[in-house]
Amino acid sequence: MAYTTLLTDVTEKIATVTINRPEKLNALDARAKAELRDCFAALRNDPAADVVILTGAGEKSFVAGTDIGELSRLDAAGGKEFSEEGQSVFDAIANLGKPVIAAVNGYALGGGCELALACHIRIASSNARFGQPEVNLGIIPGYGGTQRLARLVGRGRAMEMILTGVQIDAQEALACGLVSRVFPPAELQPRARAMAAVIASVGQFAVRMALKAVNMTEEVSLGEGEKLEASLFGLCCGTKDFREGTAAFLGKRKPHFTNS
Ligand code: COA
């Protein structure tokens, strides 16, 4: 499908979604959010896509936030709706059922930082900058940032970022666990693709069960999480991919997974 604000490509089981408003530093306007919703709904059911890379067009910005022009017209009732709608778009990414890697290639501010937080893995270029500057506009993060940032980097660090609106650079983001790797800008996209290719090369049933189990850490107690882990582990043991993976190891050959 052709989009106005997104570029999409699916090759070798890897989908790449690029937010493409570089003249506005890829700020998310209503159209971009609607297109993200459509695009991820299509990817959910696309058997050609096992792993998704989400990135921004240009060298300067991943996403510099929600479009402030649109934001400025909200009133109290509209603001609540606006927040709930954005949350549902980002929740659909977090709950895609397939891994989404955010390749953060520059500014990830406000809704841009929240978009990266909704992804399952975040890697960044060395020029990336992260922040939740909403207090400077008289608002708070409204697309899941108050919740996901605190869960990922801890309440103290999240509180500091959200209350001061300070931007942090890629190395600080790495140090606090906001991203898991930092690369020189020219290496970011190939490294994202290489990581996606590794994930796409193994049995996808196990990948999806792992995603489900780790995502559950936000919802349940350790004991409940372990019960779920055991159930999902059991499901994996019933697959042909499990037979193949173990037989290949024991037979000293490469596995051939069929996702069944
Ligand atoms: N919403 C709408 N437009 C935005 C935007 C946003 N969140 N972020 C950047 N833009 C636009 C600018 O208005 C400008 O448009 P123009 O050329 O038509 O004037 C264009 O993108 C380039 O941005 P500019 O500010 O000129 O670039 P810069 O390099 O000087 O500064 C930033 C970069 C990211 C520091 C700055 O754009 C900024 O602070 N953006 C807003 C960040 C923010 O508060 N996000 C949270 C929103 S909830």
Q: Over the chain, what is the mean pLDDT? A: 97
pLDDT of residue 218: 83
- Summarize pLDDT for 61-90 with one digit per residue, the tens: 999 999 999 999 999 999 999 999 999 999
Residues 6+ apart with CB under 8 A from 35: 3, 4, 5, 6
Distance from residue 24's CA to the centre of ligand 1 (Å): 6
CATH number of 6-200: 3.90.226.10
Q: In the chain, where does the domain assigned CATH 3.90.226.10 lie?
A: 6-200
Statement: residue 54 has pLDDT above 80: yes
Whose C-alpha lies nearest to ligand 1, atom 47? 65
Distance from residue 48's CA to the centre of ligand 1 (Å): 35
Ligand 1 binding pocket, CB closer than 6 Å: 24-25, 27, 64-69, 107, 109-111, 133-134
Looking from the CA of residue 133, the nearest atom of ligand 1 is 44
Distance from residue 236's CA to the centre of ligand 1 (Å): 46
CATH number of 204-250: 1.10.12
Looking from the CA of residue 167, the nearest atom of ligand 1 is 35
Determine how β-strand 129-131 pairs with β-strand 167-169: antiparallel
Strands (E) across the chain are located at: 6-11, 14-19, 51-56, 61-63, 100-104, 107-109, 121-125, 129-131, 167-169, 181-183
CA-CA distances (angstroms) from residue 65 to 81, 120, 197, 245? Answer: 17, 19, 29, 43
